[in-house]
Structure 1
């Protein structure tokens, strides 16, 4: 079935091709910039019957905020926004660089076991990107393997962090709600990679991104998600529990385990808030002693991969 947006999208400098992603409020397409012939990614806001409802007008506001955030960032490991506009049919859209590669999630599934050199290289780049956005006063809030792309166009692997759709400046207190029993309807982000305070609808800080980074690092090290559940409720119970995230002994007993314990502390008051400090600590570690243990671990059951929501 043909995507209706590709038929209705009319602009003198962009052509839509196939859909490559979709979120709650927008769809992402592979496209071409006519003036240059460059392949791009075009994000289009979802709409109804050719006009915007009050709900959709709110999404336009969030969409504009996302673009505003992205224009404030210039970093080799963060996706670039190239343009924005409105089609002849009044469709709001934004143009991003197109990333030729695969997601970190797919990379883990494909490789089964990541080498320690891979892990250090990729997760250091993620941290470097976090240092950049945090220095700009921005919290990503939806860091997860599916939002991290890996390119291999040169001698080294290169990551790009995507999707700043729910990101915010630190001076904006959003997503504060009184009904704690209905947190899934109120929260933002992905439950399996969100911090406990984010899931409770409390104000977020840089600590939220560092918690997500820790979960992703642990997934890279073990080959399986740190938080697995058969339902959203199970995942929420694991995240909101006071029990610490399980770290395998071979990792916990290494200095790397000290970093993981710090960033994965369930109490945000006991979690570091400085991504630069974590970056420095991570890159000063000697991974030689843990290399064999990590790379010889048994790979995880791929059926578990679809249980993280």
Structure 2
């Protein structure tokens, strides 16, 4: 048996082929995951849609839009290619398929469908497919009309090419982010950024990107004037698993940062050819919440033998995939600016790389290490602070206090030693003032004792803070010299006194000249 049919609770049928190992299958209609019987275990799935026998083909809706062909199925409706009979241009028509949903889900999906149409009418940007009008058939089926997008989905491109060049990836990402920034500015989060919701058109003028399907978008702010509604069933996760942010899985604090994570996961897929986490749905959900994805650079080097991924590219995508929304880029604008890394200086690049490596290292630590490491760092900072800042401060205060005690006891030499030691640990107004006070007291005492050499030393120290003592120092030098001459005269060493005077005499020093004449007369008498 090569295949069998598996039924979904929503009424859809799924064809199962024996090729690939799966434990569960996602219905492309209601997006539920269905457990697969133990045998067979190998399969791929394909939801069976009636495309050829679709009774909508050929019909004209609202007397204006002719249904030409079936295109695809979305989360809530079927998409057809149509023709606007008035404007003679192709359009895309999305019809709500309420008949395939259980009765308890119909009202919720109808509200969500209307919500998508309102958001499409609100958002106007070259990279967003605009909704032109909303209608209802006679049978009560709702549909809205959009511009038809030429090109192909990013999903089909990745199936064909597997991987895209970094430059092309960045070009696509910038346009997606530009569209998302418009939505975020109006308080709207897309919540389902994935390859299937990105249309790419290649032309001679370059790559043109369109973001599709705001069907599961969340209005997280009332900036746009749209009403915030809770249209998600309790315990039901909205979005595509492999591109979900942690807060989206937990359904907490979903906002613009949630889409930035999805864009990072999408870029990872485009460059590597695989999503950040793989495996069963449950395994992917656990990995998104707990694990750190393999480095983009390392994965490409290991699996594709390609080592041309710059460190900064790895860092940019890793930052967008941070589990904590606060560690991601602040908004889509800052993400776009980071993608222009070639225009950034080296300091910015190195700081971002260092930041990402630090977060990646901390993410690999177990719970105990995450507690112990911060405690260790706090203790280390305390020790450094004590020995570099606190301890010298206490020691300086001790020296200042001892200097004050010595000053009170008139032990000026000891006081000066203490205050000089305090200066080495830090000089402030209090220390400078106390030092000046000590020097003045010591200076005055030296003068009283006629110890001119010592007084001159204190005057020299004082002249560093007061220019008056520069003149006093010169005066004291003269007094010390005269004192020395007088001592020589008292000891009747006239020849030596005369020689000292003649060495330093100047023309304007009348007193010295008179002493020289007197000493010469004394020497003549002695002879």
Scaled to the shorter chain, the TM-score interval is 0.7 to 0.9
- What's the counterpart of residue 243 of structure 1? 291
- What's the counterpart of residue 218 of structure 2? 168
- What's the counterpart of residue 122 of structure 1? 172
TM-superposed deviation, 1:134:
1.2
| Counterpart among 342, 345, 356 of residue 285 in structure 1 | 342
- What's the counterpart of residue 66 of structure 2? 15
| Counterpart among 250, 266, 271 of residue 328 in structure 2 | 271
The superposition leaves residues 28-59 of structure 1 with CA deviations (integer Å, 9 ceiling, x where unpaired) of 1111111122111100011239x995632322
CA contact (8 A) 1:131 1:275 kept: yes
More helix by share: 2
- What's the counterpart of residue 319 of structure 2? 262
For 1:106 and 1:238, how far apart are their aligned partners in 2? 26
Could you say if the C-alpha distance between residues 63 and 251 of structure 1 is closer, same or farther in structure 2, counting changes exceeding 3 Å?
A: farther
Matches within 5 A, 1:84-163: 84-163=134-213
2:99 is paired with a residue of what secondary structure? coil
TM-superposed deviation, 1:4:
3.6
> Any unmatched runs of 5+ in structure 1?
288-309
Range moving further from structure 2, 200-209 or 111-120: 111-120
Range moving further from structure 2, 10-19 or 86-95: 10-19
Matches within 5 A, 1:169-248: 169-171=219-221, 172=228, 174=230, 183=235, 186-229=236-279, 231-240=280-289, 242-247=290-295, 248=297
TM-superposed deviation, 1:152:
2.1
- What's the counterpart of residue 83 of structure 2? 32
For 1:167 and 1:17, how far apart are their aligned partners in 2? 28
Structure number with greater Rg is 2
CA contact (8 A) 2:91 2:146 kept: yes
1:31 is paired with a residue of what secondary structure? strand
2:342 is paired with a residue of what secondary structure? coil
CA contact (8 A) 1:205 1:273 kept: no
TM-superposed deviation, 1:207:
1.0
CA contact (8 A) 1:45 1:92 kept: yes
For 1:109 and 1:18, how far apart are their aligned partners in 2? 23
| Counterpart among 115, 128, 149 of residue 78 in structure 1 | 128
TM-superposed deviation, 1:66:
0.9
Q: Which has the higher contact order (CA 8 A, sep 6+)?
A: 1
The superposition leaves residues 37-84 of structure 1 with CA deviations (integer Å, 9 ceiling, x where unpaired) of 2111100011239x9956323222211111111111111111111111
> Any unmatched runs of 5+ in structure 2?
1-51, 222-227, 299-306, 345-527
Could you say if the C-alpha distance between residues 143 and 164 of structure 1 is closer, same or farther in structure 2, counting changes exceeding 3 Å?
A: same
CA contact (8 A) 1:177 1:202 kept: no
For 1:124 and 1:147, how far apart are their aligned partners in 2? 15
TM-superposed deviation, 1:167:
0.7
- What's the counterpart of residue 117 of structure 2? 67
CA contact (8 A) 1:30 1:42 kept: yes
Name the TM-score, length of structure 2 as normaliser. Answer: 0.49
CA contact (8 A) 2:245 2:261 kept: yes
The superposition leaves residues 238-286 of structure 1 with CA deviations (integer Å, 9 ceiling, x where unpaired) of 222x221222335886112222222101222433331111111112336
CA contact (8 A) 2:62 2:135 kept: no
CA contact (8 A) 1:255 1:285 kept: no
For 1:174 and 1:282, how far apart are their aligned partners in 2? 34
2:98 is paired with a residue of what secondary structure? coil
The superposition leaves residues 174-201 of structure 1 with CA deviations (integer Å, 9 ceiling, x where unpaired) of 47887xxxx5xx1100001111111122
Aligned residues: CA RMSD:
2.6
For 1:54 and 1:15, how far apart are their aligned partners in 2? 32
1:214 is paired with a residue of what secondary structure? helix
For 1:257 and 1:60, how far apart are their aligned partners in 2? 41
For 2:181 and 2:71, how far apart are their aligned partners in 1? 29
For 2:184 and 2:61, how far apart are their aligned partners in 1? 37
For 2:183 and 2:321, how far apart are their aligned partners in 1? 20
For 1:13 and 1:99, how far apart are their aligned partners in 2? 19
Could you say if the C-alpha distance between residues 107 and 86 of structure 1 is closer, same or farther in structure 2, counting changes exceeding 3 Å?
A: same
Give the aligned length: 278
TM-superposed deviation, 1:237:
2.2
CA contact (8 A) 1:119 1:221 kept: yes
Could you say if the C-alpha distance between residues 119 and 252 of structure 1 is closer, same or farther in structure 2, counting changes exceeding 3 Å?
A: closer
